[in-house]
Amino acid sequence: MRLGLPSRADDRIKRRSKLPEWIAAASSGDVDAQLALAWEYARGDAVDPDFVTALSWFDRAASSGQERGVLHRARFLQLRGVPEGVRELRKFAAKGDWKAQFWLGTHYQSQHGRLSQLRAAVWYGRSFKSGNLGGKLAKLAQLRRIARQPFRTVFAAKVTIEAISTFLQMFRQDQQIEALGVLMYRLKSRTP
């Protein structure tokens, strides 16, 4: 039995068909469209990869003054190995941005050395404290990777327990949102 999920090729075709729409919106100053185009050119999945074009769209999004544009530009530069990107991510992470904290964690995780691995765990933990539910799981998984052999099973058990509790927490939030939706519907139907 096959699930009704779109395939990667279907998704690529859908994104490719949206390119003219994104280009028009991005040219008129829409930051979301600029970021979507920039990531498409950076990824090279729906279009041919072109890092110069990607950087120009990231620069346009960053020059809009919105933090989201600057943050994504920093992530792109960090992924390309430009030190300025890591510095910018650190600034956002210090302000408490959970995406920047998580991305710094992935950056340090890709580095060699025990200190970098420990920094990754710290940034994943800060990401969780700033609102990213996956940050705690990433932190525990990172600690499991760098732990000595006798402690690996302890961290694996903690990761499993945390994954279950995170799933339950997300499920409870969905139930609360659904209950609030029903309540709002009832209140709206009572008002004249």
Give 10-residue mean pLDDT values along the chain (192 residues).
Answer: 56 85 90 92 88 94 91 94 94 94 94 90 91 84 78 76 77 71 68 59
Residues 189 and 61: their CA atoms lie apart, in Å, by 43
pLDDT at 190: 67
- Rounded to two decimals, the pTM is 0.72
Residues 170 and 26: their CA atoms lie apart, in Å, by 34
Contact 74, 95 (CB under 8 A): no
Residues 173 and 161: their CA atoms lie apart, in Å, by 18
pLDDT at 53: 93
Nearest alpha-carbon partner for 71 in 92, 53, 42: 92
pLDDT at 172: 74
Contact 63, 77 (CB under 8 A): no
